[in-house]
Structure 1
Amino acid sequence: MSITIGSLAELEQYAGQELGTSEFHTITQEQINQFAAATLDFQWIHTDPARAATESPFKATIAHGYLTVALLPYLWQQIVTIENLKMQVNYEIESLRFNQAVTVDSAVRLRAKLLSIANLRGIAKTRIEVALEIEGAKKPAYTGVVTFLYHFQEQ
């Protein structure tokens, strides 16, 4: 269930709190191939299922690490809906660590905690601890802290 936030004051109430998890999203070979085409990263471990089955330690293709990061906004919006915005800016990713490969057809979901929020003259600077969980795995695909800037409409 998504949290709906309509103002800076409402957002401030969630500082220090676990915000929840997204739905699971299954990463398909088609999605991996489309990401490869968009980024020109055609390394066989991502795009050649036959070779990956025999030569890869994972015995399957794996999602690009940056594909899993690129899913962050989509999964984040399932956890928190921010209304009354002029603009949202992706500001920073810090301490991002890839912990485990995501094999094709794995389901992943985002877990998020609002570490802190700063009011910068009406702009909310939010630091969010994130972990991309892999269904059935002990370790997350990645962990890190992302910073978003929210420019709210004047009320």
Structure 2
Amino acid sequence: MNEKELAIREKESSFEIQAADLSKNELPSLEDAQELPIDLCGNYWSPEHAGEFKKMFFAEIKPQKVLSATNPDELIDLDCAFFLERKEDGTVQTITNGSRRLVGILEQYIENGALKRGTPLKITYMGKRKNKTNNFQSDNWSVKPLLINLPVAG
């Protein structure tokens, strides 16, 4: 991916949240402020059982600071997939997953243009699968696009 493509990808993956100018002497009142139905505190999804799934909207892939698996005192950048999930009460929460295999699958489809911000997906955890090249086990996933009724722009 070249710099121009990265800049476009970054622009598409950002959203605007209001911010007040804190250098002014007077802050705007928050008395009548409306709460947006989105929770910015993300939840890391670590499925435990094969067959667990989530239906979510793809948001982006970006690095996140996590503790190293080999050195618990070290913070490393791990590419993570971010999704938006609508909860039963109508609020939206962010869901994160850093499985190398899942992120790798999603990256392929981003690069060929098939996966964009807002794509609805059903992601199912298929359990662990032994790698052919070593004795390690990796997470195995199923990623299926969903067909939904979207409002027609006009």
**Structure 2 length normalisation: TM-score?**
0.26
**Structure 1 length normalisation: TM-score?**
0.26
- Compare CA radii of gyration and give the structure with the larger one: 2
Higher relative contact order, structure no. (Cα contacts within 8 Å, ≥ 6 residues apart)? 1
